[in-house]
Structures are given as structure tokens and as C-alpha cells.
Amino acid sequence: MNNMIYFTRVFIYILISLAIVKGQIILQDHDHDHEVNPVYPQDSNDQYNLLHHLGGVGPYHKSTGFGLDIETPYKYEVDKVFILSRHGERFPTTRVGNELLKTYRKLQKQYKKLLYINPNFQINDSNNDNPLTFIQDSKFFLSYEKSEDLFEMITNSGSYSGVSDMFKLGREIKEKYGYLYDNSTGELPIFSAGEQRVVDSAKSLANGFFSDSEYNAKIHVIPERKRQGLNTLSSYRSCPKAFIKRYNSKLVKTFKKSYIETETDKINEINYPFFKINSKDTLNLLHYCAFELNINGNSSICNKFSREVFNEFEYTRDLELWYSKGPGYHLSELMGSIYVNASLTLMEGEEEEDSGDKGTLNNKIWISLTHDTDLIFFLTSLGLFDNQEDLNLKEIQFSRFFKTSEMVPMGGRIVLERIVVSETSMKEHKDDKDTKYLRLKINDSVIPIPNCQEGPGYSCSIKKLRELINKKSISNVDYVKVCKIKSHKPQYLSFYWDYKDNDYSLE
């Protein structure tokens, strides 16, 4: 009897032990599966993505945003959309390109002297941290004989090709809002500022939109000339006496670029005694990193620099644009007001048939392309930066909302969606059936407008937004008077309404 009890206890002990071991194995397997495919990843590497730190000079990327759903809120629908986009990825402008050439030619001159002395000379990069190795590379785009001819142009090759990115944008607009387009009502109008890179971007976007159907777009080119007055997509051209291109530049220069100086010292130490550069050269090389990505899709020097220097580079760009084009510039709100007023008027209006000289309002998709400056003007006038203090000039303000990398990268886009109660939900939302809301998206992220977030999906009623804008002091400023626009030039923006009856360099 005692033996039976003993063996029974041993048997139970073995079963319990096996169960525990099996449970541990199951738990271990479960933990392993969780590590391989977690429901919510515990890693977040977005902060290390260099595209988020190129100060609007580099390729397009989606904004970090606030984690809000980009899909249309439940029981609502988008019945009209206004899109304002920056042109696609490009080569450097003439001014910046010439600065890059100065640094390149300076280093090339030193390099050729070294080769003359020693034909087998190689630049040391044993630690993979020497950005000057690029001058040995014949693929460096500034080494081409006529590289200056490429300045200002949209890029057409590489992973971040401006042509490809704008084609992709057109296709995405079609996928998202194609149901709003009715080809029986005529061509889809696309409005473009006059610079060639913007026009080329508009063409690529149109090709993307109609990539799966018969092409039916008309591109209306609005010249970037003083003669356009307020009928423009480049308001700074219309206000040369009030808009100083390098406004506040002396103020911005007070910011001490300590990491750029440190990086310069490091590069000189690595290359001593063969090469010597200054802080301006380092800044040019950081610009080159961004443009090399735009042009080739990869870069031979981006990973040679520290992350700290890119943060400082980004902040320097933010300071320049905050104080010369953004909220820190006293006329920025005024410059953007013509775009904001036009977009709100379009979004307020009901669809109707052609009405004589007023053109047509039956279009439900409004697409315009211009420059980063004008997108910043627009967002400033819309109130996105209201109540924010000027950026710190003594140290990097890491907590800032104003980040050009997030707002206006190459190909950056602003989308205003008009949201209304869906037809199937009218009975449930009787009190809301006549209310129209606007939801702002910047680079594929929903960005709520300050002081106006009471609508579905943190949207803002058009009526309230109009009231907020009308209360601003800028609403009482005479744009024509401030910008000294002569009476024979357009006194207001009209091309959205009269494009069918006027020649806007139609293409």
C-alpha cells in the first residue's frame, strides 16, 4: 500500500514537472513569436531617418504627424479637395549650386596638385568618416562639364527622382480622390507656377493621375512675374518692394554653428596636411549630401557626417525660413493670405454650372504646384503657427513644431479636405447635415488647426475657420497698398475662376 502511494506521488510529480517544462517552452516560444512579429513594435527608428533632418532640401518623406487616422471619419465623406504641392526633387538652385561649385573646385585644385606629386595618391578613409573622398569620384554631379545647365531643374533618375515622385503623387490623388473627378465635365485643370521645374512637376503629376485612363488634363501656367500682381502662385514676386529676400539674415547669423565648426575641425584633422576647408565648405557639403540623394538616390558622403551636425544643419535651415519666410517675418501672413482666401472661397462654394466671366465651380479637385516659400506662407496665414514663440537663436529648440523637413521637403504637399455627412448618415446627423468641415493634411499626416478642432477627425468647420482668419489683424491690411501694386496689374487672385476664358500659357 505504501509503495503504491509512493509511486503515485512520484508519477504526479513527474506529470507536474513535465507540465511546468512544457509551459516554459510554450512561454518561450510565445515570447519568441512576439519578438519576431510584435503587435506594436517597441523600436522606433524614425528619428534616425536622415530625410527628417535635411531642412527641406532633401527628398520627400511622410510627416511624422500625431498618429491620427488619415482615413475619412466614420459616417462622413470628402466631397471636395484642395491640394497645394511643392515641385518634385530638384538640382540645386543657381545660387546654391555656385556655392557648391566653389567648394568642389577648391578641393579639386588641391587634389590635382597632390596627384601631380604622387599619381597614386589616395584620400584616407580608413574609418569611413572622411567626406572628402567624393572628389575622387567621377560620378559627382558637379564634375560634369555643363553641370550648371542642370541647376534649378527637376531630377529624373534615382530612387528619389522628382519626376517619379510627382507621378506617384498624381496616382495617389487618383486612388484617393478619383471618385470626385468626372471626365464628362471637361479636363482636369492643374495650376502651376511658371518655373520650369514646377511645370515639369505638374506634367508628371498629370501623367500619374491619368496613368490608367485616357489623358484629360490641362496645365495652366501662372507666370512668376511682377505683371501678375495678385493673380499669382508666387506672391513674393508680386511684392518686391516689401519682400526682401535675405530679410533678417543678420539676425539668423547670430546663431552659433558649433557642431558645424567641430565637424570642420575633424575633417581638417583627418586630412592634414593635404586638405584644409572652412565652415562654409562644410555647410556646402551638407547641402551636397541632400542634393546627391535627390539626383542619384544615394550618397557617398551623407554617412560620413555626425548626426549632431545634421540636427544643427536642419535647425539653421529652420531659422532661415522662420525669420525670412515664416512667422518670424512680418509680411508672411500677408503673402499667404491670397492663397488661403482663394482656397476657402473654393471650399465654401457649391458646385454650379459655368457662369460667364466667373468661370466654373463644378470642379471638385483643385491641384496647384508652386515653391516651398509659398507653402510656408500658406500655412502661416492659415494659422498653423499661431501663438508660437520665435525660434531660439542661442541654442537648438528641439521641442519646436516648425520643422521644414517635416513641412516642405521636395515634393511636400498640403491637402485640404472638405468633409460632410455622408448621404447614408443624413438621418442620424440631422444637426450636422449642413455643416462643412476642413481637415488639413501635410505630407500624408493629419495636422489639426490650432483653435479649430471641433469637427470629425479633429477637423474645423469652414465657417469657424473663416471667422478666425477674418479676426486676424492682417485681414485689415491692404495688400495692394503694402506691395505697391500698380492699378494696371491684377488686384486679386482670379485664375481659379476664369481659367477657361483666359490664356494662362495653357499647355
- Hey, is 379 helix, strand or coil? helix
Which sign, positive or negative, has the C-alpha torsion 364, 369, 370, 371? Answer: positive
Q: Residue 125 corresponds to which cell in the numbers above?
A: 578613409
- Report the alpha-carbon distance of residue 353 to residue 361 in Å, rounded: 7
State the catalytic residue, choosing from 61, 87, 220, 287: 87
Active site (annotated) includes residue 87: yes
Torsion angle of C-alpha atoms 290, 294, 300, 303, degrees rounded to 10: 40
3 state DSSP class of 48:
helix
Q: Give 356's DSSP letter.
A: G
- What's the CA gap between 116 and 278, in Å, rounded? 24
H-state helical runs in 195-331? 196-209, 235-238, 249-252, 258-271, 279-296, 307-324
Q: Is 137 helix (H, G, I), strand (E, B) or coil?
A: coil
- Residue 61 CA to residue 435 CA, distance in Å, equals 33
Residues across the chain: 507
The number of angstroms, rounded, from the C-alpha of 87 to the middle of its chain's C-alpha atoms is 10
Measured CA to CA, the distance from residue 220 to residue 368 in angstroms comes to 9
d(CA 295, CA 154): 9
Q: Which of 165, 372, 374, 432 is catalytic?
A: 372
* Residue keyed to cell 509511486: 7
- Backbone φ and ψ for 22, nearest 5 degrees, come out as -60, -40
In contact, 432 and 420? CB cutoff 8 Å = no
Strands 437-442, 460-461: pairing kind: antiparallel
Q: d(Cα 298, Cα 47) in Å, to the nearest integer?
A: 19
Rounded Cα distance between 86 and 184, Å, is 29
Rounded to a whole number of angstroms, the CA Rg of the chain reads 28
Stretch (H or E) spanning 332: helix 332-348
CB 217 within 8 A of CB 178: no
- Identify the CA nearest to 335 among candidates 453, 485, 451: 485
Round to whole Å and give the CA distance between 392 and 371: 26
Give the integer Cα–Cα distance in Å for 103 and 89.
22
CA-CA distance, 14 to 257, in Å (whole number)? 70
User: Would you state the torsion angle of the CA atoms of residues 373, 376, 382, 387, taken in this order, to the nearest 10 degrees?
Assistant: -140
Neighbours of 328 (CB within 10 A): 23
The residues that are catalytic are 87, 372
